[in-house]
Structure formats: C-alpha cells, structure tokens
Structure 1
Amino acid sequence: MKAILCGPDENGLADALEAEGVELTHIDGVVTRPSLEDAGVVDAELVVLTDVAEATAIPLAKELNPDVRVVVYAEQSLPEFAKGQADLAVDPKLLDASVVADELV
C-alpha cells in the first residue's frame, strides 16, 4: 500500500504504518497540489492528515485521486468545508497509532 502522511508525526503514525508494510511518503509543512503530486498522490491509496490547519489538502487529494482514502489523525476538529470529504477522523487520544495503522492496512 502507498500512503502519504501530511503534517507532523508527534504520535508515531509513520513508524506504525511502515511497520505494517506501508510505503510511506511524508509531507512536512504546507501541503500544496505540487507537493501532493510529487509525493505520488495519483497512485496512493491513503492520505493521512495530522494537522487540520492543512485541511485544504483533503479536496486537493480527492481532486487528484478520487479513489484515495483520506484519514485525519488529529485532536482538532476539521473545518466545515472538509468534513464531508474526509473518509475517517480519529483522535490520537482515543486510539494509539499502532491500532490506527493496523486498521488502515
């Protein structure tokens, strides 16, 4: 499985996904259309967003790859415009990164 992690990784989700055999690309910083394209969103099966301040990445990812699953792994709530486009939202306080990675794979 190919996945893109957008945002900081304070909860160790990248390591957990890689431990599950996921081929992971990390975008740290501002998520833009070119950065998603460079990270391989067109071929990715999963985009994980850890910073809701970068919620514009959700419609961008869906526009570039309508079949990609978008998961938000963050404590904050998504802005209204992005709520309907995310496939799943998980609070890191509720589920450990290893549990989330296991369920996503």
Structure 2
Amino acid sequence: MSTDAIVAGPDEDEIGAALEAEGASVARLTGVVSRPALEEAGIVDADLYVLTDIGQATTIPIVCDLSEDVRTVVYARDTVPEFVKGQLDLAIDPQLMTAAIVADELTS
C-alpha cells in the first residue's frame, strides 16, 4: 500500500526524498501554508502530514480539522509549541534520527 504524504516547509534534512525512497507519493508545500493550499495538495486523502517549519505549527490543527485519519509529524530541530502537542502523532529532531529511518518507520 502506498503512502500519500505532504511535506510542508523547507526540506533541508530531505525527509521528502526519504519518503519517496520508501515508495511514498509526496506533495511539497513551501512558503506560507494555508488551508486552501493544504486542500489543493490533497490533505483530505493524505496518510501523512510532515511539518518541517515550526513557525507554521498552526497548520497542524487545520490538518486535523480537514482529516481525522492523517498522521501528523513534526520533523524539525525546534521545540514544538504547547498548543499543538495534543494534536501531533510524532515529533522528531533530525539531529537524533535520520530522514531514512523516520521514513522507513512512517511508511511501514
């Protein structure tokens, strides 16, 4: 089964490429991520939402509102704000776990 993922934010640690290497279909969002951009990228049918920019943490509640089934992941070095912690499935620091390991876990 293929995983549909959306990676939002800069992808300096290459989580998008790692997900693709595991067979996931990846849509990428850069710049300010809005509800219409998420909808256009396919968030309603996505399996996975990976945020790499903590500055856009407000997208997590939007994603959760648009889809009950999507897994939400933050893959960033910065601390996750308190207001989204309850809606996150996973938060990982790229300095602690490589993109390849994370992608393998997220797609298995």
Report TM bin, short chain: over 0.9
Quick one: distance in 2 between partners of 1:10 and 1:50? 9
Equivalent position SS for 2:97: coil
Moved over 2 A (4+): none
What is the TM-score of this pair, normalised by structure 1? 0.98
Equivalent position SS for 1:77: coil
Quick one: distance in 2 between partners of 1:31 and 1:84? 20
Match for residue 55 of structure 2? 53
Q: CA RMSD in A?
A: 0.5
Match for residue 74 of structure 1? 76
Once the two structures are TM-superposed, the CA of residue 14 in structure 1 deviates from its matched residue by: 0.9
Match for residue 11 of structure 2? 9
**Structure 2 residue 47 is matched with structure 1 residue 18:** no
Once the two structures are TM-superposed, the CA of residue 12 in structure 1 deviates from its matched residue by: 1.0
Quick one: distance in 2 between partners of 1:66 and 1:53? 23
Amino acid aligned to 1:4: I
Question: How many residues align structurally?
Answer: 105
Post-superposition Cα deviations, 1:49-70, rounded to whole Å, max 9, x if no partner, equal: 0000000110000000011100
Within a 5 Å distance, the mapping from 1:80-99 to structure 2 comes to 80-99=82-101
Gaps of 5+ in 1: none
Quick one: distance in 1 between partners of 2:72 and 2:31? 18
Gaps of 5+ in 2: none
Quick one: distance in 1 between partners of 2:88 and 2:59? 10
